[in-house]
Amino acid sequence: MMLHVPGVLSPDQVADLRTRIDAAAWEDGNATAGPQSALAKRNLQLPETSDAARTAGAEVRDALTRNPLFMSAALPHTIYPPLFNRYGPGQTFGDHVDNAMRFQRDQGVRLRTDLSATLFLCDPDDYDGGELVVEDTYGVHAVKLPAGDLILYPASSLHRVEPVTRGERVASFFWIQSLVRDDARRALLFDMDISIQQLARAAGQDAPPIVALTGAYQNLLRMWAEL
């Protein structure tokens, strides 16, 4: 399941974050690439151990936990500390699938990458090219969102970043280990949760059918969740 999550960061939050990360020192993006990805990756990245990356990443993660749409869709168990990349003219990231596991060395935390996420930190008019292209069973999807918006998609998907031909594309990217590993089950729970919320607004949260459906949702989550 792919999902557009709008407004994770406000325009003011994006502007403040960009002021700080743009002034920081960047490095070759292959610092976090696996052997295969390194062959296709041409970009710059904020070192994940830098103060700027840690502070900005904590702000992004805090915003994610306050976003009900993201929380409902991802059902996060662990969010890898958000990273930051930038693509200038001629830079790209060819077709690849994200590593199944990520290891945060400084905290000794190992994470299974069920979901990938890109949070756009510049507007589409700021650059040409640079679309995130994700391939799944429903076809090929090119994504280029407003600053502050996020795209969430299965980490198992083949994806790429098209070459930038003008300007700069700046984004935060990270992975999520979900409480529910299976994408189809997670999508079913998301659809069910959204429907329950819509029905509750019409009929009232304490209406007996809403209580029953909420119980069914919780019991499915209890059945499928992995801690």
Helix (H) or strand (E) holding 18: helix 11-22
Measured N-to-C along each axis, helices 11-22 and 51-65 cross at an angle, to the nearest 10 degrees, of 160
Please say which residue of 155, 178, 201 terminates a domain.
Answer: 178
Do 192 and 82 lie in one domain? The reply is: no
pTM: 0.94
Does 34 score more than 80 pLDDT? no
Do 68 and 147 lie in one domain? The reply is: yes
Do 191 and 82 lie in one domain? The reply is: no
Do 152 and 203 lie in one domain? The reply is: no
Helix (H) or strand (E) holding 71: helix 68-74
Distance CA 67, CA 126 (A): 26
Percent of the chain at pLDDT exceeding 70: 95
pLDDT band of residue 40 (cuts 50, 70, 90) is confident
Q: What pLDDT, in 10s, does the model give residues 103-122? A: 977 667 789 999 999 999 99
Distance CA 19, CA 22 (A): 6
Q: What pLDDT, in 10s, does the model give residues 43-78? A: 999 999 999 999 999 999 999 999 999 999 999 999
Task: Give the chain's domain count.
Answer: 2
Does 82 score more than 70 pLDDT? yes
User: What value does the mean pLDDT take over residues 6-24?
Assistant: 98
pLDDT of residue 152: 98
Distance CA 22, CA 13 (A): 14
Instruction: For residue 212, give its domain range.
Output: 183-224
Do 55 and 77 lie in one domain? The reply is: yes
> What is the DSSP secondary structure assignment for residue 30, as one 8-state letter?
G
Do 197 and 94 lie in one domain? The reply is: no
Of residues 60, 65, 40, 35, the one with CA closest to residue 48: 60
